[in-house]
Amino acid sequence: MEQQTAAGRELPPPMQMLQIISGFWVARCVYVMAKLGIADLINDGPKTTEELATATETHAPSLFRVLRALVPFGVVTQGEDNRFGTTPLLETLRSGPGSLRAFAMTELGEEHYPAWGELLYSVRTGGIAFDHAFGEPCWEFFAKHPDNAQIFNDAMSGMTAQATEALHAAYQFRDIKVLMDVGGGHGGLITSILTRNPNLRGILFDSPQVIEGAKSHLGESGVGDRCELISGDFFKSVPQGADAIVLKWIIHDWNDQQSVAILKNCHRALPENGKLILVDAVVPATNEPHFSKFIDLNMLVMTGGRERTETEFRKLYEDSGFHFTRIVPTESPFSVIEGVRV
Ligand code: SAH
């Protein structure tokens, strides 16, 4: 919905506020699209609600109401014959590399969404809303719920694929012999880097159950023979053997004390002058709208982590023995925050 009327005038404040309040209705409808795989089903041509309901084992009249509501948002088209067709927006939810389907499912489904329901708990107490809602930290929850973990890991891979082009356009992983991706998930980032740098060797490090899941992805990547898989706990130690470490969307999961503990373990693992490469959003010092300000809240409710300003990153580097060298922005909401081990 738009902030302006057709005549170009700004909507009155109550209307604007209503749009903000009802934003979650739209998002939850998108969740239903993602979960039911509607984008895949109508990819080869428009379908009636009955056809879609049969394919997804759902209630046709209710599904119709969800689809109808999404038409003005450009998520689907509705023909005269009541067939619903795909749009560029819906195509972002089609399964496959770079898809946002798993991200919509994990954010709007069974873990992030209930945690956001407890945002007020975090605001009142500073505590982690997820832990309050589920009685355990999210990483423990994922370890016990492989189906949810699979969707979460696919979501990370999908988002990584989205950001990868922008990252490689802005930053070259040159002058590195062995690069270790700490908390690298299923290996989307490290395989994209190895593919572009044929002389580079890689190490993918993550929790045991995630490394188990990464094996098939690495096997399919074509660069598996140049990438070693190691599992462990980055709070206990980070393996040696790399002259540069990349951490993408890791430090934002943790508070300052935990982040310094991880970075100190990276410091121990790296040789002198080894490179530290963080990929995270940097919160701008100005008031401009920026994705980082909402990922920041996602971290507040899910893990107790945060997004950081340049000053806050510099402090983390100082406290863990790294010399801050530079921030390289990319054409995505994420930047490269680079440092050197001293
Ligand atoms: N870097 C990946 C994944 C980010 S999600 C990407 O950008 O796509 C955070 C990752 O940290 C998950 O893969 C999770 O399994 C891993 N992780 C969380 N706690 C960990 C720990 N104690 N030791 C090692 N990895 C951990």
What does 23-81 look like in DSSP terms, one character per residue?
HHHHHHHHHHHHHHTHHHHTTTS-B-HHHHHHHHT--HHHHHHHHHHHGGGTS-EE-TT
| pLDDT (tens digit per residue) in 139-188 | 999 999 999 999 999 999 888 888 898 999 999 998 999 999 999 999 99
Q: pLDDT digits over 56-89, tens only?
A: 999 999 999 999 999 999 999 999 988 999 999 9
Helix count and strand count (H, E) for the chain: 17, 9
- Ligand 1 and 185: CB distance under 6 A: yes
What does the pLDDT read at residue 6? 56
CB-based contact 306:247 (threshold 8 Å): no
183 CA distance to ligand 1 centroid (A)? 4
CA of residue 136 relative to chain centroid, distance: 21
For ligand 1, atom 21, the nearest C-alpha belongs to 233
Residue 8 CA to ligand 1 center (angstroms) comes to: 46
User: CA-to-CA distance for 205 and 194, rounded, in angstroms?
Assistant: 15
Q: How far is the CA of 253 from the centre of ligand 1 (A)?
A: 9
| CA 333 to ligand 1 centroid distance, Å | 19
3-state SS track over 139-168: HHHHHHCHHHHHHHHHHHHHHHHHHHHHHH
Q: What is the residue with the minimal CA distance to atom 10 of ligand 1?
A: 183
pLDDT for 14-30, tens place per residue? 999 999 999 999 999 99
Closest C-alpha to ligand 1, atom 1? 184
- In angstroms, the CA 322 to CA 325 distance is 9
- Indicate the pTM of the whole model: 0.88
Considering the candidates 59, 132, 168, 252, report the single residue annotated as catalytic: 252
- Decide if 252 is catalytic: yes
Q: Please list the residues that pair with 202 across neighbouring strands.
A: 179, 227
What is the per-residue pLDDT for 160?
Answer: 87
Quick check: 56 and 37 in contact, CB under 8 A? yes
| CA 248 from centre of chain | 10
Task: Quote the CA–CA distance of 59 and 146 in Å, as a whole number.
Answer: 28
For the chain, what's the residue count? Answer: 342
